[in-house]
């Protein structure tokens, strides 16, 4: 499985042009296909879900082409009758393709077989099939009753009458019925049973049907009438708005990372319900400004995101973004009325709870709500994404809450936003790292500590971690690699006020012995030890920045470091420095044996197979043999990017 490591971010600001809305794109494609005349669709979302719809339309004999020069998709409508009357359609996990196509094909008088990925076969469709049956359609389940896959036969469509459909599981059932109703040629009255959820999505459907010439009459949200004889006519050109759900990640980034972050493609006049995410952000104190086609978000003036308790039924997709923002709020947050999460790409309530807990958040999970209590600190975790694009995009935001994350299967964002991570990195700036590597006694510790102090950055002496493992190993009499790695995994070390503690005891001087240094070099060659210490070292990357020194800071731990240095000096110069250091501490020393030990240690550190000591091509070489400490510090400080 592919994974993506995201560093902790220090701020977010900039502008993102949004990809087209998934909900609008797939509705427009189907309406354009069913319409009379040619439609030129501009700004169509190009992603897995729209590809499923485009593939299906091609299989059904609807002519369409991508006019690359004009940057639009041209669909030649079939005026309500698909040319291919017998076909197999695979629709992946695209609910916005599966439900409307089911309805349109069920009322088309052909024979079709519709299937998807395993998760699609777990997503209920029974309420839609029941409603279509009331109209005389012949739809049967080929797997579990109530779920795809489906077989559609030639039904006998009944004239007039009223059909009822449940509105409290997925609003896509009503959308599908509404869009397909004109194919019957007769008036169709639809009554919604139960409280209609996600109403803004129905507004999108009605708005787009009107753009294609079909006006639906409605009485509140309970009763809809599609008039008899209604048929779709192409509006000629149609523009797809930017995706308001995708906008939520960037607006949240502006709120969590300072901002301003502007999204272009949706704004004040959007027909998408998820633009109301901006109102939800305002309740958190976020500063929002809006134009006709853009929205901008900046952090609250107070600097604190306010805790919230909100009914989020009207913005179910964007609500996921709020669940992750809750980790930075100033108190427990309750997300209510989100039961529809359970039947989306995955059970999003369960998935969100599981993954938030991995990063150290306290989460209470209820049937239709989530309560999130922000922790003092977050920890790094590998986030499972459940083949759910929104899980991947949401969890990128924890990088603005003080920790890095690993996103498993990041390509799942292709469902709606193939370029998501590039767009995110274009507005989010990683916490800067100055990586200083080099051999023993080259002066990297001294220089790194001074540079960190002058910049006000955190400081990581990575060698001390290997020395601590070495000391624990010596003291515990541990010899085999697996046991040494286990020591590294659970190393009970603390850094308190300039002192280094192991199991609570001060070992600041003990880890500096030559015996410990030699052992450190040996345990550092064990791959499992290095793996065990990896995230522990990365956790030092915190705002406002980090200066990290060791052997593999620039190559393995922080390969994206903003500045990299390789500090070195001749063996003679380094042996002299170490000799002086020991003499000052009143410890016995011998120049020749120090030279010998340094050379052996350098050779071992440079020859090992994992993370060997070496100068990277992108590191600045600092030859300190003839430099004073002050000169070396100045040399580095002047070259920090
Ligand atoms: N440019 C320099 N000129 C003279 N002495 C220096 C210079 N840089 C460092 N020193 C001295 O050399 C000694 C070793 O330096 P330091 O501990 O910083 O090296 P190091 O590379 O971090 O070593 P190790 O990897 O063993 O921890 C210190 O006493 C330090 O003051
Ligand atoms: N990033 C690091 C840091 C240290 N080591 C190993 C190699 C050294 O011999 C030993 C002690 O380091 P020092 O305190 O002298 O910097 O630890 C490493 O492999 N990778």
Confidence of residue 497 (pLDDT cuts 50, 70, 90): confident
CA 447 to ligand 2 center in whole angstroms: 16
Burial status of residue 70 (CB atoms within 10 A of its CB: 0-12, 13-18, 19 or more): exposed
Q: Which residues have CB under 8 Å from 33's CB, separation 6+?
A: 57, 60, 62, 64, 75, 77, 78, 82
- Statement: 431-457+544-640 belongs to CATH 3.40.50.10800: no
- pLDDT tens, residue by residue, 387-411: 999 999 999 999 999 999 999 999 9
Q: Is 172 annotated as a binding residue?
A: yes
Q: What is the DSSP string of 555-594?
A: III-TT-SEEEEEE--HHHHHHHHHHHHHHTT----HHHH
Confidence of residue 159 (pLDDT cuts 50, 70, 90): confident
CA 573 to ligand 1 center in whole angstroms: 10
Top mutation candidate among 439, 445, 521, 628 for ligand 1, by most atoms within 8 Å of CB:
445
Which atom of ligand 2 is found nearest the CA of 549? Answer: 1
CA 437 to ligand 2 center in whole angstroms: 10
Ligand nearest to the CA of 548: 2
Topology match between the domains 3-18+241-430 and 22-235: yes
Q: Is 347 annotated as a binding residue?
A: no
158-179 average pLDDT score: 90
The pLDDT value recorded for residue 589 is 85
CB of 552 closer than 6 A to ligand 2?
yes
Domain ranges of the chain: 3-18+241-430, 22-235, 431-457+544-640, 463-540
Pair 365, 340: CB distance under 8 Å: no
Which atom of ligand 1 is found nearest the CA of 549? Answer: 22
CA 446 to ligand 1 center in whole angstroms: 6
The pLDDT value recorded for residue 513 is 87
Q: Is 257 annotated as a binding residue?
A: no
Confidence of residue 313 (pLDDT cuts 50, 70, 90): very high
- Does the pLDDT of residue 60 top 90, yes or no? yes
CB of 629 closer than 6 A to ligand 1?
yes
The pLDDT value recorded for residue 506 is 96
ipTM: 0.96
CB of 576 closer than 6 A to ligand 1?
no
CB of 463 closer than 6 A to ligand 2?
yes
Ligand nearest to the CA of 518: 2
Q: Is 595 annotated as a binding residue?
A: no
Burial status of residue 494 (CB atoms within 10 A of its CB: 0-12, 13-18, 19 or more): exposed
The pLDDT value recorded for residue 333 is 98
Give me the sign of the Cα torsion angle 206, 207, 210, 215: positive
The pLDDT value recorded for residue 170 is 84
CB of 627 closer than 6 A to ligand 1?
yes
CB of 444 closer than 6 A to ligand 1?
yes
CATH fold for the domain made of 3-18+241-430: UDP-n-acetylglucosamine1-carboxyvinyl-transferase; Chain (3.65.10)
Which atom of ligand 2 is found nearest the CA of 537? Answer: 1
CA 420 to ligand 2 center in whole angstroms: 38
Ligand nearest to the CA of 604: 2
Torsion of the alpha carbons at 281, 286, 290 and 296, rounded to the nearest 10: -100
22-36 average pLDDT score: 97
Choose the CATH number for 22-235 among 1.10.3720.10, 3.65.10.10, 1.10.579.10, 3.40.190.10.
3.65.10.10
CB of 171 closer than 6 A to ligand 1?
no
Which atom of ligand 1 is found nearest the CA of 584? Answer: 29
401-430 average pLDDT score: 97
Backbone angles phi, psi at 466, to 5 degrees: -65, -35
Q: Which residue has the tokens 């469902």?
A: 415
- Does the pLDDT of residue 601 top 90, yes or no? no
368 is catalytic: no
The pLDDT value recorded for residue 586 is 85
Q: Is 482 annotated as a binding residue?
A: no
Q: Measure CA of the first residue to CA of the last residue in the chain; give whole Å.
A: 34
The pLDDT value recorded for residue 498 is 87
CB of 601 closer than 6 A to ligand 2?
yes
Pair 225, 189: CB distance under 8 Å: yes
CA 100 to chain centroid, in Å, comes to: 28
CB of 463 closer than 6 A to ligand 1?
yes
The pLDDT value recorded for residue 158 is 84
Alpha helix ranges (H) inside 490-550? 514-523, 527-538
Q: Is 439 annotated as a binding residue?
A: yes
- Does the pLDDT of residue 160 top 80, yes or no? no
Q: Which of 317, 384, 552, 605 is catalytic?
A: 317
CA 444 to ligand 1 center in whole angstroms: 6
- What's domain 463-540's architecture? 3-Layer(aba) Sandwich (3.40)
Q: What mean pLDDT is reported for the chain?
A: 95
- pLDDT tens, residue by residue, 254-293: 999 999 999 999 999 899 999 999 999 999 999 999 999 9
Ligand nearest to the CA of 516: 2
- pLDDT tens, residue by residue, 535-575: 999 999 999 999 999 999 999 999 999 999 999 999 999 99
- pLDDT tens, residue by residue, 101-138: 999 999 999 999 999 999 999 999 999 999 999 999 99
pTM, rounded to two decimals: 0.89
CA 560 to ligand 1 center in whole angstroms: 26
50/53 Cα distance (integer angstroms): 5
């Amino acid at each position: 499985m592919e994974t993506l490591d995201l560093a902790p971010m220090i701020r977010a600001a900039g502008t993102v042009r949004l990809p087209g809305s998934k909900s609008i794109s797939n509705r427009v494609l189907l309406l354009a296909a069913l319409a009379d005349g040619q439609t030129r669709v501009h700004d169509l979302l190009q992603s897995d879900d729209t590809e499923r719809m485009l593939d299906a339309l091609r299989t059904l004999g609807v002519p369409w082409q991508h006019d690359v020069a004009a940057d639009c998709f041209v669909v030649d409508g079939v005026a309500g009758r698909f040319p291919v009357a017998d076909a197999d359609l695979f629709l992946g996990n695209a609910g916005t393709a599966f439900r409307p196509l089911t309805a349109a094909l069920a009322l088309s008088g052909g024979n079709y077989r519709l299937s998807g990925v395993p998760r699609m076969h777990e997503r209920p469709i029974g309420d839609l099939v029941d409603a279509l049956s009331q109209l005389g359609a012949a739809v049967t389940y080929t797997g579990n009753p109530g779920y795809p896959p489906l077989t559609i036969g030639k039904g006998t469509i009944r004239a007039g009458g009223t059909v009822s459909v449940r509105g409290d599981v997925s609003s896509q059932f009503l959308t599908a019925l509404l869009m397909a109703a004109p194919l019957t040629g007769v008036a169709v009255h639809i009554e919604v049973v139960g409280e209609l959820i996600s109403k803004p999505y129905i507004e999108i459907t009605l708005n787009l049907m009107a753009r294609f010439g079909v006006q639906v009459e409605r009485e509140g949200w309970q009763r809809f009438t599609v008039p008899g004889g209604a048929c779709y006519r192409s509006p000629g050109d149609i523009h797809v708005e930017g995706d308001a759900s995708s906008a939520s990640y960037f607006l949240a980034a502006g709120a969590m990372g300072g901002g301003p972050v502007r999204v272009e493609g949706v704004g004040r006049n959007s027909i998408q319900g998820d633009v109301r995410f901006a109102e939800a952000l305002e309740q958190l104190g976020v500063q929002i400004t809006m134009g006709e086609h853009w929205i901008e978000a900046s952090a609250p003036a107070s600097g604190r995101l306010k805790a919230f308790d909100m009914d989020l039924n009207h913005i179910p997709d964007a609500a996921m973004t709020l669940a992750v923002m809750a980790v930075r709020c100033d108190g427990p947050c309750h997300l209510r009325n989100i039961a529809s999460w359970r039947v989306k790409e995955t059970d999003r309530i369960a998935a969100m709870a599981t993954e938030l807990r991995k990063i150290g958040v306290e989460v209470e999970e209820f049937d239709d709500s989530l309560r999130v209590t922000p922790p003092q600190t977050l920890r790094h975790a590998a986030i499972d994404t459940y083949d759910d694009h929104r899980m991947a995009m949401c969890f990128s935001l924890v990088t603005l809450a003080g920790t890095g994350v690993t996103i498993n299967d990041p390509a799942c964002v292709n469902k709606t936003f193939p370029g998501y991570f590039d767009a995110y990195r274009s507005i989010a700036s990683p916490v800067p790292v100055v990586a200083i590597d080099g051999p023993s006694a080259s002066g990297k510790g001294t220089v790194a500590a001074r540079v960190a102090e002058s910049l006000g950055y955190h400081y990581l002496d990575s060698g001390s971690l290997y020395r601590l493992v070495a000391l624990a190993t010596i003291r515990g009499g541990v010899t085999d690699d697996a046991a040494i790695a286990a020591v590294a995994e659970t190393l009970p070390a603390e850094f308190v006020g300039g002192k280094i503690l192991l199991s609570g005891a001060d070992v600041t001087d003990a880890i500096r012995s030559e015996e410990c240094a030699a052992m450190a070099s040996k345990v550092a060659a064990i791959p499992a030890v290095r793996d065990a210490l990896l995230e522990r070292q990365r956790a030092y990357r915190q705002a406002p920045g980090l200066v990290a020194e060791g052997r593999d800071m620039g190559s393995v731990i922080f390969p994206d470091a903003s500045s990299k240095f390789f500090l070195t000096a001749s063996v003679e110069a380094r042996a002299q420095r170490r000799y002086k250091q020991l003499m000052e501490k009143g410890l016995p020393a011998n120049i020749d044996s120090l030279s010998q030990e340094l050379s052996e240690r350098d050779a071992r550190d440079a020859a090992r197979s994992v993370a060997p000591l070496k100068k990277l091509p992108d590191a600045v070489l600092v030859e300190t043999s003839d430099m004073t400490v002050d000169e070396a510090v100045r040399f580095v400080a002047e070259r920090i990017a």
